[in-house]
Structures are given as structure tokens and as C-alpha cells.
A and B are shown apart, each in its own frame.
Chain A
Amino acid sequence: MNAPLLSVVQAQGGYGDVQVLWGVDMKIRQGELIALIGSNGAGKSTLLRLLSGLVRQTGGQIWFAGDDLSGTSARRRVASGLIHVPEGRRLFAGLSVRDNLLLGAHLRQASRAELAADLDRVAALFPRLAERWRQDATTMSGGEQQMCAIARGLMGRPRLLMIDELSLGLAPKVVDQLLDALDAIRRTGVTLLVVEQDVAVALACADRAFVLDHGRVTIAGDASALADDPRIRASYLGED
């Protein structure tokens, strides 16, 4: 078995005096699609923010591609290929779709030709974006903005792409398109860690899943096995 791409050992963190994560353990291998599920306030978004260096780590270790990331800057993590697509998309208003995408590549020392090739690649993945290349990114629909945010993350050439709240507030048809896109992204070798509130969707598309509860991983395993797990069915799929 290969060494894991991301290895989180007893990670703790939170906001100021409020501790949210109480020792998270997680191992993700290269090329996996991982779902992170849990109820509101379980610490899913905080965990992603901790991994991308936006939340202060107060304990434990984070290993990514063989390097200890604990205490390193967000910038270094992005440069090493750990890229976060935030909840709410956070696109830059007043910038076109194309410029928003180029922003995603700003840490790379890429030539114009490389950037053009990468733009073509994400345009092939999300044809809707290519139709709106020059439009102000924040004037698009929610689904298109989510596509743009994911594409912006891809422009940074991630090894691990973390997507927060993939389908929140989006129409089912758009969610299907996004899931197809995730599948395509994964086939290019990019590892994915996806926070998804729709547990049925999450377990259907992922290889493995982690359930976060009160800042700890309480259940982990193959997605198909978890879909049949009575605890999951009772807590997250609304079954008795």
C-alpha cells in the first residue's frame, strides 16, 4: 500500500478559545474521492479550514505528500497542491470568469501557453463557463459559480482538492453535472475531499467516507458499506 497523500493525526483546532476539533484522525490515499459528512456544527468546514491553514492548529499533526504541514502558511499549502474550494464559492466580484480562473494559478510560475492549456482543460470540463468567459463571475447562477470555484481550484494544479458544501442550494440537475465533473477530475489523478450535506449523494459518489461528530471522526469506512450502516441510516438518511 502506498503512503497516504494526506495523513491527519489527532488534529485539534478552533477559533480563539473555542475548540472545534478534538483530535481528528484521517488518512487519504492518492486518487481517492473522499466524502466528509456530519451534522451542522460537527466541524466539517473547520477541518477543511484547518487543513488549508486558515484555522490555527492547536495540536496533532498534518502530513501532506510527506511533509509536515503543521504551522505552515496557507500560501505554502496552496503551493504544495493542497487547494480549498470554500463554502459560498467566494469568487471575486468585478472580475470576469476567466480572470477568476487565472487567479487560481497565480502562485504557479506558468507560461502563457500553460495557462491557456489549463483554461482549455477546465473549459472542457465545464462548458458552461466557457460560454461566460467574459462575464462578471458573481453575476452567474449558483451552479455556475460553484463550477467556477472548482475550476479556479483546478487552475492551481491541486494534488488534493477540498470542496466545501458541494451541492448546497443547487438544483438536482446541477448537482448531477457537478458529480460528473468530480468523476472526471478524479480520473485525471486529483484526489478529492468533499464536504457534502446530502449524505445519500455523498455516499453514492465517494470511495470512502468519514463521519465527523463533535469534532472527532466517529465512523470511517468504504462508502458502500457506510450506506448500509444502521447508525448512518438512522442519523443521516432519516430511517428508523
Chain B
Amino acid sequence: MRGLLLPLLSGVALLAAAAFATLAGDAYALRLATTLCLYIGLASSWNVIGGFAGYPSFATAAFFGIGAYAGSVLQAGYGVAAPLAWLSGGIVAALLAAGLGYCILHLRGHYFAIASLVVADVLREVANSWISLTNGGMGISLPLLSIGVEDQARLYFWVFGAVAALSVAAAWLVDRGRLGFALRCVEQNETAALMLGVDTRRAKRAALVLSSLAPGIMGAVYASWVSYIDPTDAFDVLLSVKPIIMALLGGVGTVAGPVFGAAAFLALEELFWRNLLELHEGALGLLVVLLVLFLPGGIRLVRPRRLLAFRPLAKPGRTP
């Protein structure tokens, strides 16, 4: 029952946000809700590799950026319909993740983190230099949809919302299945997992590919949403850092943690940083330090547990 409660709560929270945003008809609220869905998708996806498997991936920006570019090139260059281009963003990101997994998943800890961090930098330089395909630093302008501005805003909200819901659902399924079990073994003690015959390599690759799908799709949708991308925007390192903070904030390795963490992060971003224009990146750094020092288990440990029966962080998984 507890297993069901979390996704249900997450779903209800998403629906409430959705209803609020669309019914209110307020452009600001709608934009916030859309950003929330984007954040939930990114954080929840990161959580599969970073939380369940304990592999601190900084590759989210790479997946997001390559998805954004795949979608943009297909739409602007080849006239592919938007939905197909968005899906292609996810597929291209997954292909990148599969290749990347093959190359760097044998690294552990800091080494893996650094290796995953540079991927976005490399791709940014490729996007900058491959002018014939990406238009280099000039960026790509995307065709606008032939519907009204408000309808567009609403459409993007629902698309981001659907992808976010799918990525939470995927995390939930992974958590309950054999893959989640294998990933938690990897997270706890990879060598012991190997000794018990867990196919850790396959599990990690699957986790990395899964964690790339939603960011890839969302990158492509994002490109359409803002109708223009350039390498700096698409491969922004903050896209890798923010999902980690959100997951830390809500509770790493839990299904609901990234959802609540994304909401909390967005609230902080709006309330705090809009008032600290000059210092907001400093505030981000400070937040990370405070989180690691005082709340390694996330904000869910602050409030009374009886209100929301979260699973203990240390629980590595169910046995088959």
C-alpha cells in the first residue's frame, strides 16, 4: 500500500498543478507549472542512475542538449512534424546514453562524475563548430506552431506534464522491478552484487539509457517551446546540476523525492533568486552545501513522517 501511495500522491500533486495552471489562465502560473513539469522530468530521470544506482551522473545537460538539437535540426532543417521531432530527441539521447554507458560506466564515484560532466562540454563545442548542421553559435530558430499564444503555452504544459508523468511512472516501475533491485545492489555494494551474480553492467546501462529518454524528449520540446536554441543554452551545465539538487532536496533514491524536490526547488528559485539577481548562483552553491551538511536525506526528513509515510532512505530494495 505504501508503494502505491507515493506515485498516487505525486500524480495528485501534478494534476493539482495542472488544473491550477490551466484553469487560472494566468500566463505566469502556466509558465511556472510548465517549468515544474520540466524539472520533475529531469530530476526523476536523473534519480534512476544517480539515486537508485548511486552513479552521480552530470550528463543530463548532454542528453537535454542533444535532444534539443536533434528536435530542432529535424524540424527546422527537414520539416519533420513537431511530435515526431520531440520523440526523436529522446531516441537520439538514448543512443548517446547507450554509447556513453559503454565508455564510462566502468568508472565509479568521482571518476564517473567527471567523465559524465565533460560530455555536455564536448557536445557544446561540436554544436558550435558543426555550422553546416547546427548553425553554430548563431543557433537555430524553430517554426512556430500555427495556434494562438495561449493555446501554445497550454499545449507545452501538457506535453511537459505527460513526459514528466511518464518519467515518474517509469521510475516507479523500475523501483518495483528487478532492474530497481539490481540498481540498489549496485548502489550499496557493486562488488558484492557482482559476486551474487547480479548483471551490474547491464543494469547500469539500462539505468543510464532510461535516465536519458525524458531529458532528450524534454530538450526537443523545450526547443520548440522557446522557439530558439543555441549551444550555450542547450548544453547549460546548470541543466545537469539542478536535477541533482532537486533529487537531494526531495530525497535521493525514492520515487516521490525528485517530484517534491523539483517543486521545492522551483519555489526557492522563484521566491529567493528573483530577489537575489546578482547572487543567485552563489545562493545555489550555498544551498548545495547546506543540503549536504544538514539534509543528506532530503526535506522529507524534516517534517513528521506520519503525515507522509515515506520509505526510509537506506532501504536498498525488495528481494525477488
Contact = CB atoms under 8 A, between A and B. Distances in A.
21 contacts: A54-B191, A54-B194, A74-B197, A75-B194, A78-B196, A83-B195, A84-B195, A86-B195, A93-B314, A94-B188, A94-B314, A94-B315, A95-B315, A95-B319, A103-B185, A103-B319, A106-B196, A106-B197, A106-B319, A106-B320, A156-B196
Interface in B179-236: 181, 185, 188-189, 191-192, 194-199
Interface residues of B, number: 18
A44 B312 CA distance: 38
B317 to A, nearest CB: 8
B316 interface: yes
B78 to A, nearest CB: 42
B315 A90 contact: no
A79 interface: yes
Contacts of A94: 188, 312, 314-316
A107 interface: yes
B266 to A, nearest CB: 31
A32 to B, nearest CB: 22
Interface of A: 52-54, 73-75, 77-79, 83-84, 86, 90-95, 99, 102-104, 106-107, 152, 156
B316 A95 contact: yes
Given A75-B197, A107-B197, A90 B192 contact: yes
A84 B198 CA distance: 13
Chain B facing A: main interface SS: loop
Contacts of A73: 199
Chain A facing B: main interface SS: loop
Contact of A103 (B196, B199, B315): B196
Given A92-B188, A93-B188, A75 B315 contact: no
A86 B197 contact: no
Contacts of A83: 195
A114 to B, nearest CB: 13
Interface string B280-317: 00000000000000000000000000000000101110
A203 B196 CA distance: 28
Contacts of A156: 196-197
A77 B199 CA distance: 12
Contacts of A78: 195-197
B10 to A, nearest CB: 23
Given A99-B319, A106-B319, A90 B314 contact: no
Contacts of B198: 75, 106
Given A92-B185, A92-B316, A94-B315, A75 B191 contact: no
B312 A74 contact: no
Contacts of B199: 73, 75
A90 B189 contact: yes
Most buried by A among B185, B312, B319: B319
Contacts of B189: 90, 92
A152 B198 CA distance: 14
A152 B314 contact: no
Nearest to A86: B195
Contacts of A54: 191, 194-195
Contacts of A75: 194, 197-199
A86 B316 CA distance: 20
B256 to A, nearest CB: 18
B80 to A, nearest CB: 41
A166 B192 CA distance: 16
B188 A74 contact: no
